[in-house]
Amino acid sequence: MSLRLTQSQRQSLGFRQIQGIALLRLTNEDLAADLARRAAHNPFLRLRLPAGTASPGTEDLADSQGGLYAHVTAQLRLIGAARADEALALAFVEALDGNGWLDRPLSQIAASAQRSLAQAEAMLTALQQGIEPAGLFASGLADCLRLQAIDRDQHSPAMAAVLRHLDLLAQGGAAAVAKAAGLDPDQVAACLARVRRMDPRPGLAFGGTPAPVRAPDVIVSRAAQGWQVALNRATLPVLDVIPDARAAKGMGAIRAEAEWLSSIVERRNRTVLAVARAVLNRQRGFLDHGPGALLTLSRAGIAADLGLHGSTVGRVARDLLVDTPHGLRTLCSLFDGGPVRAGPGRRPGPQPAAAAIRYRLGQLIAAEDPAAPLGDAELAAALCREGKPLARRTVAKYREALGIPVCTQRLRQRA
């Protein structure tokens, strides 16, 4: 045992630095709530909240707005599957249209939440069974009526057959439906009588169009000079320091706090915008062509471009919501690695992200000949021809992540 004196340098964060870092993690909505609490205790601060923003102590914004969105989100709290995977449940809410139906394929919803198709199917079943009124989260008219028939204990084989051929009703009437379904006219008439008592568009009862789960923090729009990235000023609070030369003595510290907070909020906004622009500039192919054009992108790369620490980029991107031409996405979903290795099919330059390859893999399988589904080796060869060389086992892993069975099983299911 011995005693030694050592000298070293260590940097510690002060209280204000910690507070400044914490502001980077906040969405526009959370920032408004945080500043409202601070302004309530500082007479030198003047805060202008976005229209419709709730003050502290009031009900949530979604609840105060009403409509289909508020109705559905309130019921999510009562569904165990939605509480267990809130991100996936909210992805389904984002996909609701004014009718209360889903406006995009199940595979696209699963991909947007970075979940497998099997997980999305399980969540959809839970939502359809747990949400009232019955018929919400349907894939279309026939599915909406099917859910209501099940809820009313009226879903018989005859009803299922009528709903499968419901599109013939407008062209040939009940007789055409009966012929196509192989049913007696009386059976069809009884089923159609029940259908007429159902609500084909349950979402319209709540009025208006569904609001998004949360207003975006950043908006991407196309202009004559290209893609424009801007902060969503409709959700961004504005903080000013009130000039008051007559301030009483002893309030200098409070005024200094107000001035510091104003400057740190402005710095937060500049950092958020800089990170969002850098990410979307790298992912310009995604803006032009969709998820299939996502490229590999790391937080460290963006941090190096902006002269920031990687953890700063991570804090900004974690919960930031961006309104893109391809739907609402968190900024962190645009960061992704890639499995592509050097090979004969590899193209120089930035490589496709893993999410883009999974997306393309799903497209290839969806477009395959039902009578001759593609094996994993054939899928790997197709991807290689497109400049995305993958090993067969990697293709198998991605296919399983999408919840897609092997080719032999797909053939049996389609037979």
Residues 6+ apart with CB under 8 A from 398: 354, 357, 358, 361, 390
Strand boundaries in 307-392, DSSP class E: 321-324, 327-330
Question: What is the tally of helices (H) and strands (E) in the chain?
Answer: 20, 6
Radius of gyration of the chain (CA): 27
- In this prediction, residues 326-337 reach a mean pLDDT of 82
Distance CA 86, CA 272 (A): 25
Domain assignment present for residue 150? The answer is yes
Domain assignment present for residue 321? The answer is yes
Domain containing 169: what range?
63-206
Q: What percent of the chain has pLDDT over 90?
A: 15
- Whether the Cβ atoms of residue 194 and residue 149 lie closer than 8 Å to each other: yes
Least confident of 65-74, 302-311, 369-378: 65-74
Q: What percent of the chain has pLDDT over 70?
A: 83
The reply to whether 318 and 387 lie within a common domain is no
Distance CA 71, CA 66 (A): 7
Domain termination site, one of 160, 189, 206: 206
Least confident of 20-34, 51-65, 67-81: 51-65
The reply to whether 180 and 264 lie within a common domain is no
The reply to whether 198 and 102 lie within a common domain is yes
Helix axes 67-76, 86-94, angle to 10 degrees: 160
Query: Which two structure tokens, joined as six digits, stand for 234?
Result: 């409709």
The reply to whether 281 and 395 lie within a common domain is no
- In this prediction, residues 63-77 reach a mean pLDDT of 68
pLDDT in tens, 129-147: 988 889 999 988 889 999 9
The reply to whether 72 and 168 lie within a common domain is yes
The residue with greater pLDDT, 63 or 82, is: 82
Instruction: Indicate the number of domains in the chain.
Output: 3
Domain assignment present for residue 187? The answer is yes
Domain assignment present for residue 113? The answer is yes
- Whether the Cβ atoms of residue 96 and residue 103 lie closer than 8 Å to each other: yes
Domain assignment present for residue 22? The answer is no
Q: What is the pLDDT of residue 10?
A: 47
Q: Residue 160: is its pLDDT beyond 80?
A: yes
Q: What is the CATH number of the domain that holds 363?
A: 1.10.10.60
Q: What is the pLDDT of residue 170?
A: 62
Q: What is the pLDDT of residue 230?
A: 94
The reply to whether 75 and 184 lie within a common domain is yes
The reply to whether 376 and 311 lie within a common domain is no
pLDDT in tens, 233-265: 888 988 888 876 555 566 778 888 888 899 999
Helix axes 15-24, 252-282, angle to 10 degrees: 40
**Distance from the first to the final alpha carbon of the chain:** 79
Q: What are phi and psi of 206, to 5 degrees?
A: -95, -5
Tell me the C-alpha to C-alpha distance, in Å, between residue 70 and each of 104, 148, 207: 21, 21, 11
How many Å separate Cα 30 from the centre of its chain? 18
Q: Residue 346: is its pLDDT beyond 60?
A: no
Domain assignment present for residue 18? The answer is no
Q: What is the pLDDT of residue 124?
A: 93
Domain assignment present for residue 14? The answer is no
Domain assignment present for residue 274? The answer is yes
Q: Residue 274: is its pLDDT beyond 80?
A: yes
The reply to whether 92 and 188 lie within a common domain is yes
Q: What is the pLDDT of residue 242?
A: 84
Q: Residue 173: is its pLDDT beyond 80?
A: no
The residue with greater pLDDT, 231 or 171, is: 231
Q: What is the pLDDT of residue 48?
A: 87
- Whether the Cβ atoms of residue 155 and residue 134 lie closer than 8 Å to each other: no
